[in-house]
Each structure stands twice: as structure tokens, then as C-alpha cells.
């Protein structure tokens, strides 16, 4: 290597280090390394990412800026990230300045370039006119009198699936749900890594991009089979005079419309609702049952609330209370139960992190300047865990803070930890023991 080449390398390195020192002085939060940015800390804490982000936000009063790709010409577009859980900033991003932030940074799912993707918007009027009460028909399968060490998450997922596309893919685990979970885990990797890195991994078939591709192929095959089967069933039913269709799920309602929808559109509809409703609902309910099982005081208050309402609407004969699903008016009176569900969402929100791209330079209410082209990650998980928002008892499960003024126990030695995915799954499910409940002691407190 001649002298001129050596001088060029040294001068380039020196210029880069001076540039890096200049930008790093303005950054807060986790440590930023040359070339690697904050990726080492993020990767090191990948299995505990949400709590790691929350810890960083606590240390920075609710907002910090970091860089995941400190490379000139890339830092502005793909590297600079503002992370916040400050309610003022969230309201500014999601409401006041909604037009100043584009759709979130989470990448679409797409099996081939140019294909449609999960998250792709559908006609909202068409969807709303067809959904009706599909996802809450009240015909969820009832368990036997008692169950030992059953994963309640899988039961909830199966019950919720019925509203979108019968038949349910079965219990407990199956190829579809496994592929779906792997796809959401792989998509989280795209959320963490700079765009050019996961695109290279996808091109070379490395890491979780392989499982994402396989999972998408499985989705296509599974949903195509369901759609084709349903088409034949509905066609056969139409040929029968006075025939009644046995299906009233979301997919069937779209197929019964006069408009002709493509198979790709129907796949998008089902997957959008699965991602937006099925998993998010089952996830929050799973965390809800776990929290309630650990807080007998809250469990008793929920039972008192339910019994008080049913005593007024259905009489004192408890054997008749479960004959019919709860009506809307009854549900509306379950104020403590709704407070407990709200408190669950505060501590274990189904979608713990989300992000948006900054369209134009702006200043957040907290005083942080954000550059056009950079990303803003708003940590919903951290919002519910900040002492400056909720007080010193912010990590405690207290449904009372959300008020306007079958028995279930977690299986012994079952480990409950968060799973790093787009939705906040319990990593190993929630194994519970379901047993008959005697409501007479509760009823005795009301009579």
C-alpha cells in the first residue's frame, strides 16, 4: 500500500470519527457505536427488548434519540430514530400532527415483489358493512367441567378464528398458527434492523427471512384451500331451494356479496382481521387471565360485579345464568370487569411498539427536534410503566385506577415470560387448570 492510499484511508477514518462524534453528542438513550450504532445493545437485549426500551425511557424522562445506522448519507433516512412514551408526544404524533407522519415503519408482509401484503388497506365501507357481529357470535366452544394444564391462549385463538373463516384450524397447535407466529417474530426483526440489512438477508435467504418466506407460502396455500372449499359449499347451497348456509363468518359474507372479489383480496381481508383482531384479542385476554389469577382481590371483585348484574337480570337461580350469552346491556354494566381489561391493556398492550416516518421537520411537545425522513417509535408498552405518568404503583395491577368512580388458576411451575413478536404473546402460552366454580359464597354477599 503506497503512501497516498494510506493517507486517504487515515483521513477518511478521521473525517468519519469527527462526523460520528458530532452526531453522537446530540443523541441520548443507549450507547451508540461507530458504524454499528445502538444495534449491539438492541441485539444483546433482543429477548427482553420491551423492558430494555422502557428502562432507557425511564432514564431519559420519556423520550430519547438514537441511531441504528451511523453511516453518512444513510443516517437521515434509515438510521435516526426517536423513541418516546410521553403522552404529549403521542397525542402530537397520532392526532395533532397525524398528516406530518406517514404510515408506520413496520414493513408489509409480501411473498413476492409487487404482491399485495398484510396491512394493505381494504375498502373500509365494504368491511364495516359485512363484519356485523362475526367476531362475537357467542357460540364459542365451552370446555368440560374441568381441564388440567390447558393452554388458554390456544382456546381463545381458536374461538376468535371462528368469526373470520370457519373451520377453525384446530387445537392446540397446528401448521397455520405456528407459521403465523413465526411470521410475526420474523417481522419484528425487520422492525429492529435497518432496512438495507433485512433486505440483504432476504435476498440471500439468511436468518428468519427464510422462515418468513416459508410462512407466507403456507398462508397462501392454507387460505386458498379454505376459499376454494367455501366457494364450492356456497355454490352447492345456492342450488338447493330454500337451503340455509351453515356459515356466517366474515369470509362467507364477502363471498355472498354480488360484487366479485378476487382470491387475493379475500386473503388480504382474512389476514388483516387475523392480525388486527384475532391475535391482539387473544393476547390481551391471556394476559388478563394471568393477572387475575395472581390477584385474588381483583378476581373476587370481578365475580361480585358479574353476579350483581346477573342477579338483577336473570334471577337467583345460578344454574340458568349460563344458558345464554351476556347481552349488550348486561356487558355495559360490568364496569369493574371493563376496568380490569383496561388495566391489562395498560400493563400488557397487545402491540407493545409501533412507529411512524417523519414527513417534515418538526418539534415534539417535549422539545425534541425530529428530522424529516427519520423514524419515531412510540412505545405503548412503556407508556403504562412510567412512574411520571401513573405514580409509584405503576407496575401494580389495580383496576380501580381505570374506574370512573369458570374458576381459573395458573398451572404450577408454569413459566410466564414475554415473547418478542409484533404482538405481545406469552412465550409458552398460559397453561391453566379450569375447575367448576361455586358461586354461592359470592351470591351470599349480595343477598
351-378: pLDDT as tens digits: 898 888 888 889 999 999 998 888 899 9
The three three-digit cell numbers of residue 204, written as one number: 440471500
Scan for cell 373500509, then name that residue.
Answer: 124
Burial class of 397 by CB neighbour count within 10 A (0 to 12, 13 to 18, 19+) = buried
d(CA 180, CA 239): 36
Rounded mean pLDDT, 119-137: 45
Those residues with Cβ within 8 angstroms of residue 147's Cβ, 6 or more apart along the chain or in another chain: 432, 433, 434
Q: Residue 345 and residue 70: Cα distance in Å, rounded?
A: 35
- Least confident piece of the model among 169-173, 192-196, 198-202, 383-387: 169-173
**Burial state string for 339-368 with b = 16 or more CB within 10 A and e = fewer than 16:** bbbebbbbbbbbbbbbbbbbeeebebbeeb
**CA atoms of 63 and 88, how far apart (whole Å):** 11
Strand partners, 81: 66, 375
Chain centroid, CA 388 distance in Å: 25
**What is the C-alpha separation between 215 and 213, in angstroms, rounded?**
5
Asked if residue 146 is part of any domain, the answer here is no
In a domain, 263, yes or no: no
Q: Are the CB atoms for 42 and 68 separated by under 8 Å?
A: yes
CA pseudo-torsion sign 297, 301, 306, 308: positive
- Three cell numbers at 372? 424529516
- Do 358 and 372 meet the contact criterion of CB atoms below 8 Å apart? yes
Q: Is residue 372 domain-resident?
A: yes
Does the pLDDT value for residue 133 go beyond 70?
no
> How many structural domains is the chain composed of?
1
Contact between 334 and 304 (Cβ < 8 Å)? no
Looking at 66-80, 288-302, 390-404, which range is the least confident one? 66-80
Measured between alpha carbons, how far is residue 109 from residues 181, 366, 377 in Å? 13, 34, 19
What percentage of residues in the chain have a pLDDT greater than 70? 70
Question: If pLDDT is split at 50, 70 and 90, which confidence band does 159 have?
Answer: low
Query: Do 18 and 45 contact (CB within 8 A), yes or no?
Result: no
Cα-based distances in Å from 209 to 71, 133, 194, 245, 268: 24, 36, 14, 40, 21
CA distance 181 to 150: 19
> Does residue 68 lie in a domain region?
yes
Compare 18 and 143 and report the one with higher pLDDT. Answer: 18
Domain of residue 21 covers 1-107+351-383
The answer to whether position 290 is within a domain reads: no
Separation between Cα atoms, residue 131 and residue 269, nearest integer Å: 11
**Count, residues in the chain:** 447
pLDDT band at 339 (very low <50, low <70, confident <90, very high): very high
Judge whether 115 lies within some domain: no
Amino acid at each position: 500500500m503506497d503512501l497516498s492510499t494510506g493517507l486517504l484511508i487515515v483521513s477518511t477514518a478521521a473525517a468519519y470519527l469527527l462526523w460520528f462524534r458530532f452526531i453522537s453528542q446530540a443523541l441520548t438513550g443507549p450507547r451508540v457505536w461507530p458504524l454499528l450504532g445502538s444495534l449491539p445493545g438492541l441485539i444483546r437485549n433482543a429477548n427482553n427488548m420491551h423492558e430494555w426500551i422502557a428502562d432507557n425511557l425511564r432514564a431519559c424522562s420519556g423520550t430519547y434519540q438514537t441511531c441504528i445506522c451511523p453511516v453518512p448519507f444513510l443516517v437521515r433516512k434509515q438510521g435516526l430514530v426517536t423513541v418516546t412514551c410521553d403522552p404529549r408526544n403521542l397525542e402530537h404524533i397520532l392526532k395533532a400532527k397525524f398528516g406530518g407522519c406517514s404510515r408506520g415503519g413496520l414493513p408489509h408482509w409480501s411473498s413476492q415483489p409487487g404482491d399485495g401484503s398484510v396491512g394493505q388497506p381494504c375498502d373500509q365501507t365494504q368491511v364495516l358493512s359485512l363484519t356485523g357481529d362475526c367476531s362475537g357470535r357467542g357460540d364459542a366452544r365451552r370446555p368440560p367441567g374441568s381441564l388440567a394444564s390447558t393452554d388458554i391462549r390456544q382456546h381463545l385463538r381458536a374461538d376468535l378464528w371462528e368469526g373470520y373463516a370457519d373451520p377453525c384450524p384446530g387445537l392446540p397447535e397446528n401448521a397455520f398458527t405456528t407459521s403465523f407466529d413465526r411470521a410475526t417474530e420474523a417481522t419484528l426483526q425487520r422492525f429492529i434492523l435497518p432496512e438495507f440489512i433485512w433486505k440483504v438477508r432476504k435476498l440471500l435467504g439468511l436468518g428468519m427471512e427464510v422462515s418468513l418466506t416459508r410462512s407466507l407460502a403456507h398462508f397462501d396455500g392454507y387460505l386458498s384451500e379454505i376459499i376454494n372449499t367455501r366457494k364450492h359449499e356456497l355454490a352447492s347451497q345456492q342450488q338447493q331451494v330454500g337451503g340455509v348456509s351453515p356459515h356466517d363468518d366474515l369470509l362467507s359474507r364477502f363471498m355472498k356479496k354480488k360484487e366479485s372479489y378476487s382470491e387475493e383480496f379475500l386473503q388480504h381481508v382474512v389476514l388483516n382481521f387475523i392480525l388486527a383482531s384475532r391475535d391482539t384479542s387473544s393476547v390481551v385476554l391471556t394476559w388478563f387471565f394471568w393477572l387475575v389469577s395472581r390477584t385474588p382481590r381483583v378476581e373476587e371483585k370481578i365475580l361480585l360485579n358479574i353476579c350483581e348484574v346477573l342477579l338483577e337480570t336473570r334471577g337467583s337461580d345460578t344454574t340458568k345464568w349460563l344458558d345464554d350469552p351476556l347481552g349488550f346491556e348486561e356487558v355495559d354494566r360490568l364496569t369493574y370487569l371493563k376496568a380490569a381489561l383496561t388495566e391489562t391493556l395498560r400493563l400488557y398492550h397487545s402491540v407493545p411498539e409501533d412507529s411512524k416516518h417523519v414527513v417534515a421537520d418538526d418539534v415534539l411537545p417535549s422539545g425534541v427536534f425530529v428530522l424529516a425522513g427519520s423514524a419515531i417509535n412510540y412505545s405503548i408498552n412503556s407508556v403504562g410503566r412510567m412512574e411520571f405518568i401513573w405514580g409509584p404503583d405503576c407496575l401494580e395491577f389495580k383496576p380501580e385506577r381505570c374506574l370512573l368512580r369458570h374458576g381459573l388458576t395458573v398451572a404450577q411451575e408454569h413459566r410466564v415470560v414475554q415473547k418478542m413478536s409484533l404482538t405481545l404473546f406469552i412465550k409458552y402460552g398460559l397453561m391453566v387448570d379450569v375447575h367448576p366454580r361455586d358461586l354461592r359464597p359470592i351470591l351470599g354477599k349480595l343477598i
